Amino acid sequence: MTIVEMLEQSGVLTLLGMSIVFGFLIILIIAVTLAGKIIHALGWDKDAGGTAGTGAAAGKAPAKAAAKTAVAAAITAAVNEYRKTNS
């Protein structure tokens, strides 16, 4: 097998591999798009109306923010106490 034949074969294999990957990506895009449309049609998406802050999720957001603030305050107090006692 000559170098020209080897280069020709490697070019064909490269194009074949790139085509397979490109085809898989196209199939993946189609599958994700269809799954999104099915989920939206069945009403399984939580923010179907596009309005944030309404419904049951509205009460959970302030609670999460308060919990994060409380955790940050507790960590800050612990670090300050540690610095006071170990200085």
Tokens of 33: 């798009």
Answer yes or no: is 6 within a domain: yes
The domain total for the chain is: 1
Range from 24-28, 51-55, 57-61 carrying the lowest mean pLDDT? 51-55
Over residues 68-78, the pLDDT tens digits come to: 899 999 999 99
Answer yes or no: is 74 within a domain: no
Answer yes or no: is 81 within a domain: no
Please count the CA atoms within 13 angstroms of the CA of 12 that sit on its side-chain side.
6
CB atoms within 10 A of CB 4: 8
Tokens of 49: 């109306």
Output the pTM of the full model.
0.49
CA distance to 14, 20, 32, 33, per residue, from 38 (Å): 36, 27, 10, 9
Helix (H, G, I), strand (E, B) or coil at 10: helix
Over residues 9-27, the pLDDT tens digits come to: 999 999 999 999 999 999 9
